[in-house]
Amino acid sequence: MADISTRKADHLDLAIKGDVGFLAKTTLFECVTLVHDALPELDLDAVDTSCEVLGKKLSAPILIAGMTGGTERAERINRELAAIAEARGYAFGLGSQRAILKNPAALSSYAVRDVAPTTLLLGNLGVVQAAKLPTSDVAALAAQVGADALCVHLNPAMELVQKEGDRDFRGGLDTLERLVNELPVPVVAKETGSGLSSSVAERLKLRGIRHVDVSGAGGTSWVAVEMHRADGVKRGVGETFRDWGIPTAASVALVARHGFDTVFATGGIASGLDIARAIALGATVGGIARASLQALEAGGREGALAFFDRIEAELKAAMLLVGARNLAALKKAPRVIRGELADWLAQV
Ligand SMILES: Cc1cc2nc3c(=O)[nH]c(=O)nc-3n(C[C@H](O)[C@H](O)[C@H](O)COP(=O)(O)O)c2cc1C
């Protein structure tokens, strides 16, 4: 347990203050231009950002993506961010619940239902851990926190660099299929910053997975996070693979072709305009992890609320300026795709 607690503390410190972005790679949202409408015939106040996701209504297509749990500091962060999600009508993700498996007392650091009773709440567990557990134990983890759905995270790149990381990734697809068939809550197949390809999307779809979080490249690099914690050969591998992954915009567009019910677009979402671009490419919701945490750490609840005010205002501005009254219209908004993103979509 001390091991996981130390790692979680390292992760929070590095995510808040560390040099953990991608070096050269971006999300490629900058390659998407939404086409301006000079005659929108819309009242900004009537622009509707609401949507239904996994059976719950959100006021805006925003997910505060899963980050933490397992320590007292994690508990404070989870409760603050979950309360904001409740107040604003966003979705909220918990960090990996693996710590509960090692120490059942850690459950309190994931307990947010009292401050977020109606929020769309996503539990979280790694596919490698899930593979070793009977479905009833995984179901218990989701039920203990009152999760509406369970994110099963895929993170081979970071594990290869992590000092204590997993090495054997066999059976991931079988595990996901088993959980989809046997869990009482929906499963979200979630990357952690390296993105989902079209081929992975196809394999997931064939096994019955209906919800994904692409968590693409261009935001937080988990290889970079683990690189800072590693030494020797692993540090070298981290330095070389720091920019590994599929840019978020490319991943969203590639995955959207496969017709999932829900596509969370997480990974380097930096503005409401990025969320608008993601939705125009086929996403359902934009997810924000590190920037939410940084806003909370820098400015407390008020700072985080101000951050989300800006995100929502930018999303609404983008919708008005393309003449989209609601998210269904935004999905169909004309857009120009150029540069490297066009290359990705033409070649993969
Ligand atoms: C401090 C921190 C901890 C994270 N822990 C988890 C985790 O436990 N499980 C998971 O699926 N993703 C985890 N993530 C990954 C995020 O959910 C997200 O996929 C990734 O950081 C990319 O989004 P971003 O660029 O907005 O940070 C974590 C991210 C941060 C910043």
Contact 97, 125 (CB under 8 A): yes
Per-residue pLDDT tens over the stretch 110-132:
999 999 999 999 999 999 999 99
Tokens at residue 64, please?
Answer: 């505060």
Write the residue with the smallest CA distance to atom 23 of ligand 1: 267
Give the sign of the dihedral formed by CA 248, CA 269, CA 329, CA 57: positive
Q: Mean pLDDT score of the chain, rounded to an integer?
A: 97
Q: 153 CB under 6 A from ligand 1? A: yes
Query: 10 Å Cβ neighbour count for 10?
Result: 15
Sorting pLDDT into bands at 50, 70 and 90, what band is 3? confident
Is-contact 277 296, C-beta < 8 A? no
pLDDT for residue 2: 52
pLDDT at residue 323 is higher than 70? yes
212 touches ligand 1 (CB under 6 Å): no
Query: Could you report the per-residue pLDDT of 237-249, keeping only the tens digit for each?
Result: 999 999 999 999 9
The answer, yes or no, to whether residue 31 has pLDDT greater than 90, is yes
At residue 137 the predicted structure's pLDDT band, cuts being 50, 70 and 90, is very high
CA of 218 to the centre of ligand 1 (A): 13
3-state secondary structure 216-246: CECCECHHHHHHHHCCHHHHHHHHHHCCCCC
Query: What is the atom index within ligand 1 of the atom nearest the CA of 153?
Result: 11
Rounded to an integer, the average pLDDT of 155-177 is 95
190 lines ligand 1 (CB under 6 A): yes
Nearest-atom number in ligand 1 for the CA of 151 is 11
Determine the Cα–Cα distance for residues 187 and 148; give it in Å rounded to an integer: 9
Q: pLDDT, tens digit, for every residue of 250-309?
A: 999 999 999 999 999 999 999 999 999 999 999 999 999 999 999 999 999 999 999 999
Question: Do the Cβ atoms of 178 and 127 come closer than 8 Å?
Answer: no
Q: What is the share, in percent, of the chain residues with pLDDT greater than 90? A: 97
- Regarding the beta carbon of 186 and ligand 1, being less than 6 Å apart is answered no
What's residue 111's pLDDT? 98
| 55 has pLDDT over 90 | yes
pLDDT band at 1 (very low <50, low <70, confident <90, very high): very low
Distance separating alpha carbons of residues 128 and 175, to the nearest angstrom: 9
At residue 336, φ and ψ (nearest 5 deg) are -110, 130
